[in-house]
Every structure is written in C-alpha cells, then in structure tokens.
Amino acid sequence: EAQVTQNPRYLITVTGKKLTVTCSQNMNHEYMSWYRQDPGLGLRQIYYSMNVEVTDKGDVPEGYKVSRKEKRNFPLILESPSPNQTSLYFCASSGGQGAFLETQYFGPGTRLLVL
Amino acid sequence: GNSVTQMEGPVTLSEEAFLTINCTYTATGYPSLFWYVQYPGEGLQLLLKATKADDKGSNKGFEATYRKETTSFHLEKGSVQVSDSAVYFCALKSARPGNTGKLIFGQGTTLQVKP
C-alpha cells in the first residue's frame, strides 16, 4: 500500500530535550515536505526537500532541522524544543516528472506537546 | 504574496442538505487548486483538484470549479452525509518559476453533519 508514515504519532516532551520525528514514504517520491498545523492558521511549511541531499527552508523553519540522506526518509529534528513548537506536524511527499508540482500525499500526523 | 481565504466555520448541516464552502485565493499566474479533507484523528487526504481555469474537480459527490475571473474554488456537494463530517482545507500551489512546491492552505472549515 502506497503511504507516508510518521513516528511517533503522539509525543509529550520537556523544553530543551532533543527529539526527532521520522517520516518515510514507499512511493519513490522525490519531493518531501514538513508542515505544522495550528488552530486558525491552517498548515504552514517548515522545510522541504526536492531530492536526496537537497533541502531548503519553508515559511516557518526556526527551531527545526531536517536531513535527506535517503530518498524514502525525511526526519524532522527539534534540537531544543520550546512550548511554541507544540503543534500537529504533517509530512508530505510527491513524485513524478516535476515532482514538486504534483499532488502531495500526507502522513497521519504527529501531535507534539512541549512542556 | 499568495494566500487562500476560506469561509469561517463551523458549518452545521442536516443530512441530505446542500453544502457550499467558499474559498477564494490571491496568486500571480495560474496556480493549481486543491481541496483536502481531514477526518477526525487522521491526516489530510486529497479530495479533488483543478490545475487550470474552468477545470472542474470532482470526487465522492463533491465538486469545485476553478474560476479565474472571481479567483474562487468553492466546494459543493448536493446531499451531505454524516460521514462527511470533517475539516476541509482549500489550498493552492504556484506554478511559477522558483516555486518550492509549497502548498498554501486556508485556515480550514469544520463541517458537522447531523442525522
């Protein structure tokens, strides 16, 4: 089954404790992206990756890091989480010719609470 | 810059009622337009899309027409069901050079359908 998976689905942590949210897709997609969803704001892009070893900032990258060492994986790293990073996070991917222009498929989401 | 505006929710309807969720956008050029749906506790699923003016996207009884002259992409369904209760997001993606593949989302509209 074609899918985007995220882990963990729920996470409670404390300020300053480094954490990683994993994202993996099995569709051989070139393009991957992270979004955060906050009430009244819709979804906003954090980082994106056009392909392996090619990443760039989205609209709200502060406090986050990413890496793309393999095509299928795109982890989101919070080096020193703060309460304002409490949010619902979604990973998405798209593929094909001009992959970044194609329809994006979303993972199930990771709900993060930073105390 | 590019933006998407959706009607305020929540929208509460009785089963079999007609649904309209308004969506207007601001963008240069000819963006692609999307409706995503988020069922409770789940990630976003693509509901329908349109990539050029006057295109009509349709799926599961939902329809939306890309109206360049009014910069709108309103979602409609003739007869809603309880199972349609969800949050609906309108989104656009720019096709201009330099596009990062970012989806720009509206704030979401919650639909509740009562039996």
pLDDT, one tens digit per residue, over B47-80 is 999 988 999 999 999 999 999 999 999 999 999 9
Closest residue to B101, CB basis, from A48, A90, A107: A48
**How far apart are the two ends of chain A, measured CA to CA in Å?**
36
pLDDT of residue A53: 92
Is the predicted pLDDT of residue A103 greater than 90, yes or no? no
Are A104 and B103 inside 8 Å of each other by CB?
yes
Cβ–Cβ of A100/B100 closer than 8 Å? yes
Among A2-16, A70-84, A90-104, B33-47, the least confident range: A90-104
Tell me the C-alpha to C-alpha distance, in Å, between residue A65 and each of A80, A107, B22. 11, 19, 36
Would you say residue B109 has pLDDT above 80?
Answer: yes
Chain B touched by A34 (CB under 8 Å): no
Q: Could you tell me if A34 and A46 are in contact, meaning their C-beta atoms sit under 8 angstroms apart?
A: yes
A58 neighbourhood in chain B, CB within 8 Å: 100, 102
